Structure 1
Amino acid sequence: MQGQHQLQGEFPLLIDGLSQFIAEADTSAIRHHPLIRSAVADGFACILGGASAEVTTRIRAALTPLGEGSASLYGQGGTMPAPAAAMINAVAGHANDLDDWEEPANTHPTVVILPAVLALLDVMARPVN
């Protein structure tokens, strides 16, 4: 138990440091980099490809009682509160994501973070550009 307590004490420091690094990062040099655009396009493709999957339909049904919100459900229409929309879009993004085992590193890493970023942009009423 002592190790668990020690980890809990260090975790906020790690999060604070990482958050500060991200907040202060100069992204102007990478904002329009072709790899960034490709990664975001891939993430959207995964989300759209899984939007009508059974698992996506089930998670949306489970979260429907949360009501409408300001965050979009891509490929499905409608809106939900940001946490629910991020979860549903993330599930959609992973619904058909079965090729991550291939070499060399044929993965879809953007699908992990893109749904949360999109939900946040919707809440902040900021465009995706």
Structure 2
Amino acid sequence: MECLRALLKDYKNEIEEILVADKQLQKELLYDMQKDEASMGKAKAVAEAGPSGTCRMPAGQTLSGMAGADASARATVRSVLKEVNQNTPTPALHLMSVPKVKSILRSAGPGSRRPDVLESVRRPRLFESDDEN
């Protein structure tokens, strides 16, 4: 996305004219560029706010573009984990729906040949060879 943004930086206003034949691609590119700019803005704000308690930088180093994106990703992960870990316990196993499996032998009604077929397959067969005569 960074490469595309650099290429289209000068032509951002002309994207609609360039991609007039493919409206869907045009909308996707504009949306992706807006999201990328927003994430870069967040990363810059995080970098300007200073390092958090978990991310300490040695003296003299600053966050580059990728490090800023990493900080933004860490903030996103923290917010997602906060939503997931709202102390909701996992439901008990007996409350979960478990598929029921029927046995072939039990499901075979009267007149069904399945148990007979299975028994015939299980029995060992002795084949007589023509060479023994």
Does TM, scored on the shorter chain, surpass 0.5?
Answer: no
- TM-score where L is the length of structure 1: 0.22
Q: Larger Cα Rg: Structure 1 or Structure 2?
A: 2
Q: More relative contact order in 1 or in 2 (CA 8 Å, sep 6+)?
A: 1
